[in-house]
Structure 1
Amino acid sequence: MKKRRTQEERTAETRAALLNATVSAIHELGYAAVTTAIISERAGVSRGAFLHHFHTRAELMAAVVRMVFDDEMMRYEEIVQAPEMDRLFEWPRILWSVLSRPAGIAVLEILQAARSDPDLAQMVGPTQKAAEEGALAKMREAYGGDEETARSVKRLMVWAVRGLTLSDMIVPDRQATLGAVNLLANLLKAAAPDGSVAPLKPFTM
């Protein structure tokens, strides 16, 4: 006899369906073209069910950013278990493997949209800030360095790779894009061959 799902399980499944539908819709159609009706249809839920879980579009997008960040952190944890991945200069390639996925691209579009949408910025901003602080803490734990340097290095790597995912969508050239990712990795290796943050102290302008 098939076990009946609890209300809690049904709620979690519906919420996950809405979040995943949002990611796929943004990746395929672009942020501006995605409506709550499209998301509801893709998730297989009614408009009322959508509003039960997310009262506003901005609330939904903030939840997407959080979901994707949590998934990314799990992926990073799995990747770094490999002995050859415990060096900082491997991270541009690691970041590309994660941030170039549909979920990473969807989050990038959400963050861009927040620039001209105050309600979205208010919802997404704190979520993204918390995500970046969590990533910074993990990075310092693994690769050392003072906070200022680690923050600059993290921002360089993450946003360079995010920018490359954007350029690869607008002007596709995968060979050149991967070449740029590898170049960043090689520059970091030349600057910090021991794989730590400490040698990468930024210059003061």
Structure 2
Amino acid sequence: MREPQQDRSRATRQRLLEAAIECLADVGWAGSTVAVVAERAGVSRGAAQHHFPTREDLFAAAVDYVSDVRTEWIREHSADLPSGRERTKAVVDLVVRMYTGQVFRAALHLWVAASSDPQLRELVVPLEAHVGRAAHQLALDLLGVDESTPGVRETVQATLDLARGLGLANLLTDDGKRRARIVERWAEMLDASLNTLA
């Protein structure tokens, strides 16, 4: 039985978005042309341009897709977190893993490209702000803290900023051993700080 056209079209679009993220993560913005993305997705350039007439259209959709993937990834991996002090460490580890994976690498290439491309910047800035707010709220929820308590908002934001920094440090070399020690120590400090603020 033939797959309905709408389902095939949706599947092609999904493959193109996933390929765009992979390309950004692997070869950066400069190397991520529509032709390269189409080839990686296993579709013709014409099919790619049918879904996304320009490179900007493709990567605008990819930016949106990256945002959804990053948020969903956190939700999926937060279902079975432990309780007590181990929970803080698990939350910190989860947040750090989000910023050391392929999706963050792809997002980072978009940030760098957007810093010198006003049209791309207009697309990236609001989406990154949305993802940042979602990640912040999710961290608050997972840690079980209320940001209306003085100091909590800044402490949780420092955790997200630390995770981004660790993601940057991991770009060129595997920073896993050092990162594990930092996650362990930061979780201890975060737990003590949040208990003091509560």
TM-score, length-scaled by structure 2: 0.82
Q: Does 1:78 align with 2:76?
A: yes
- Counterparts of residues 40-189 of structure 1 (less than 5 Å): 40-84=38-82, 87-88=87-88, 90-141=90-141, 142-146=144-148, 151-189=153-191
What SS does the corresponding residue of 1:170 show, helix, strand or coil?
A: coil
Q: 1:36 aligns with which of 24, 34, 41?
A: 34
**CA deviations over 1:99-123 (Å, ceiling 9, x no partner):** 3221221112212221111111111
Residue type matched to 1:182 in 2?
Answer: E
Residue type matched to 2:117 in 1?
Answer: D
| 8 Å Cα contact 2:166-2:179 kept in structure 1 | yes
**CA deviations over 1:140-176 (Å, ceiling 9, x no partner):** 4553222985553443222321221221222443211
Residue type matched to 1:104 in 2?
Answer: F
Q: 1:14 aligns with which of 12, 17, 23?
A: 12
Q: CA deviation at 1:13?
A: 0.7
| 8 Å Cα contact 2:152-2:194 kept in structure 1 | no
Residue type matched to 1:161 in 2?
Answer: A
| 1:49–1:71 distance in 2 versus 1, CA, 3 Å | same
Residue type matched to 2:164 in 1?
Answer: R
Q: Tell me how far apart the structure 2 counterparts of residues 85 and 157 of structure 1 sit (CA, whole Å).
A: 19
Q: Over the residues paired in the alignment, what is the CA RMSD in angstroms? A: 2.7
Question: Which ranges of structure 2 fall in alignment gaps of 5 or more residues?
Answer: none
Q: Percent identity, please.
A: 28
| 1:145–1:56 distance in 2 versus 1, CA, 3 Å | same
Residue type matched to 2:191 in 1?
Answer: K
Residue type matched to 2:108 in 1?
Answer: L
| 8 Å Cα contact 2:89-2:184 kept in structure 1 | no
Question: Which deviates more, 33-42 or 47-56?
Answer: 47-56
What SS does the corresponding residue of 2:170 show, helix, strand or coil?
A: helix
| 1:192–1:137 distance in 2 versus 1, CA, 3 Å | closer
Question: Which deviates more, 100-109 or 49-58?
Answer: 49-58
* Residue number in structure 2 paired with 1:203: none
TM-score, length-scaled by structure 1: 0.79
| 8 Å Cα contact 1:59-1:123 kept in structure 2 | no
